[in-house]
Structure 1
Amino acid sequence: MLNKSQFKNNLVTWFEENQRQMPWRETTNPYYIWLSEVMLQQTQVKTVIDYYHKFISRFPTIYELSKAHEDEVLKYWEGLGYYSRARNFHTAIKDVYESYNGEVPDDPQLFGKLKGVGPYTQAAVMSIAFNKPLATVDGNVFRVWSRLNNDDRDIKLQSTRKAFENELAPYVQEKAGTFNQAMMELGALICTPKNALCLFCPVQAHCEAFEQGTVEQLPVKTTQVKKKHIKQNVYIIKNTDGAYLIEKRTQRLLNNMWEFPMFEATGDESVNAQLSTNIQFQHKPVYSLKHQFTHITWDINVYLAKTQVNPQEVTLSENMVWMKLEDRENYNFPVSMSKIYKFLITNS
């Protein structure tokens, strides 16, 4: 059984002396703290820092972001992936500007109703920015708390999350933001998924899993569903003016981002039908890559048109344009298309 006050004191003292320096830890601005939490979802700290600086440099206030066009917001998010995060954040910020006079609401219930704000984001922003007594439960906290209590409940279950939040509630009645950050930092630096640094752990004396030798078996997590693989063909079409054909996606996944024409490889390719012409492509792909999403993987093969086409002889749909390689910065590309673009630059 944990000694609550001693455990929290040991943890917070360690955190205050050993925490990593991060720009969002140097501000009390709830907009910046919220932005950092959204960016950090599914993304490593070292990757986020540059994006964070560029984003707040361009959109330093809620007003600037609320008035920005989605295409520009996505441009500053390009490369971070999981673009629904950016769209939801942008929508929520516009709501904050219109409904709350441009101030992030400090009421957890109101904040939790904003677009894209789930239980973790709600607890993190409210506790760190406003010291609201809410416990954050992310992957790091799941791991730390499971090991501290030698707890084998399945962390994939919503019931386990709720139970952990309730069990952690006593620790966030004071210094909520500091405690939550300390728990997450411990999971990131010491109580790691593999080869945990137990000998350096500031709360080792409180850890039942360390005492029982079960650290590497925890937390318990049900097997992930196997990812679905989808074969995609990408077609590189260059015109006689030296520009390449790209189109804006209208599907839910990566919606409104630009790509070289891509179709699922079902044997019934649609690129020529879409262009109302007959372009011949090389039989072998010139480039292949994989792109991972949460639940699916794209296996992409890239094919080059055998000849350049006269732009006057093809009919483009309204979501298609011709792009010069040097104009690429005007378009939001997902990571997979950025890689194909780099291939073209290297081999052009």
Structure 2
Amino acid sequence: MLDTKKSQLLIEILQTDLLKWFEESKRDLPFRRTRDPYFIWISEIMAQQTQIDTLIPYYNRFIDNFPTVFSLALASIDEVIKAWEGLGYYSRARNLHQAARIIVTDYDGMMPATFSELIKLPGIGPYTGGAIASIAFNQKVSAVDGNVLRVISRYCNSCDDIGEATTKKRITRWIESILPDEVGAFNEGLMELGAMICTPKSPKCLSCPIRSGCQSNAAGTTGLIPILEENFSELCKPIFIGTSRHVFSHIIWDMSVFIFDLDNRVCESTLNPYYISAQRESRSNPQVTFKALSQVDDLALPIAFSKLLALLT
């Protein structure tokens, strides 16, 4: 994920600075005041389809109704659905009820303490299992959700498509190779950073605790990462070649320029293969038009874009 010459320093920044920031700046949430796996489990299931700030009153109401796994297991499904009312995605409530009964019957009411056992329960997948195992039991496993994929992609300046299963597996393996002893806080810190600072749009880079190690911040590519590859699936990774700034009366554009080498394997002709290949790909996206560099002088480009041409020659 990171260049070997830089990796140790950048990993140390990610570990130490993230943990320090999380300890000092984390949101005061009711399920963060405990390490009881039951409460953490309920909060993580709710968070699967609901924003944290939105779920808090629902979480409090649910816990008031079912303060233990025994009370949840003994309740009727109608009572559980009623307590869940307003959160939607009611399969989550049904899975909670079913899992609670399994925990009481098969585990004597004790939440399984390992990732491998947790993911056997209804409604608990790899992310939720990792979150519970690391936060409640300090087991060294990752908890990789969309926030974490975004944070790590930006930190490593990775242009790999986070929509691909292979990319998620690679990021998961890398995170698990660098997990510190305070694994629960580290996982929560990554999630918190993605939710509060390293947001999908307009990330607050100046406030980021790991900015000094962030490779996309250094390259000026933060706004372009992470990548979800919808077109040009056969292109190689982009090569960053420079930036340009254009000042309007009301806004400033900071632009980054990349070069892609088109692979001969996707070309349809030996006549100007790169250009023809690009034209073929552009047909799937009507908002994209390709021109050979020799044709650019014939285009009426805005000044902001004309300034970028100097980077291509």
Q: Structure 1 length as normaliser, TM-score? A: 0.63
Q: How does 1:189-200 map to 2 (within 5 A)?
A: 189-200=196-207
Q: Which amino acid aligns with 2:121?
A: L
Match of 2:101 among 80, 94, 102: 94
Alignment of 1:246-257 (within 5 A): none
- Per the alignment, residue 275 of structure 1 pairs with none
The aligned residue for residue 137 of structure 1 is: 144
**2:181 equivalent in structure 1:** 174
Aligned to 2:213: 206
Deviation at 1:45, TM superposition (A): 1.2
Deviations 1:251-308 (A, max 9, x none): xxxxxxxxxxxxxxxxxxxxxxxxxxxxxxxxxxxxxxxxxxxxxxxxxxxxxxxxxx
| 2:67 corresponding residue in structure 1 | 60
Matches within 5 A, 1:40-189: 40-189=47-196
Gaps of 5+ in 2: 1-5, 231-313
Aligned with 1:12 (options 10, 19, 30): 19
SS in 2 for 1:172: coil
Higher helix share: 2
Distance in 2 (CA, whole Å) between partners of 1:69 and 1:109 is 28
Task: Give the equivalent residue in structure 2 for 1:240.
Answer: none
- 1:7, distance to aligned residue in structure 2 (A): 2.4
1:30 to 32, 37, 52: 37
**Partner residue of 2:28?**
21
Distance in 2 between the 1:118 and 1:147 partners? Answer: 25
Q: Percent identity, aligned pairs only?
A: 45
2:139 is matched by which residue type in structure 1?
A: K
Deviations 1:82-118 (A, max 9, x none): 1111111111111001000000010221111111110
By percentage of residues, which structure has more strand? 1
Measure, in 2, the Cα distance between the counterparts of 1:191 and 1:75: 36
Q: CA deviation at 1:222?
A: 4.0
The amino acid of 1:35's aligned partner reads I
Per-residue CA distance 1:160-214 (angstroms, 9 max, x = gap): 1111110001332411100000001111111111111111111111111011111
TM-score (norm 2): 0.70
> How many residue pairs are counted as aligned between the two chains?
224
Aligned to 1:298: none
Partner Cα distance (2:101, 2:189) in 1? 31
Would you say the 8 A contact 1:171–1:179 is kept in 2? no
- The SS at the match of 2:178 is helix
- 2:13 and 2:223 map into 1 onto residues whose CA distance is 25
Aligned Cα root-mean-square deviation (Å):
1.3
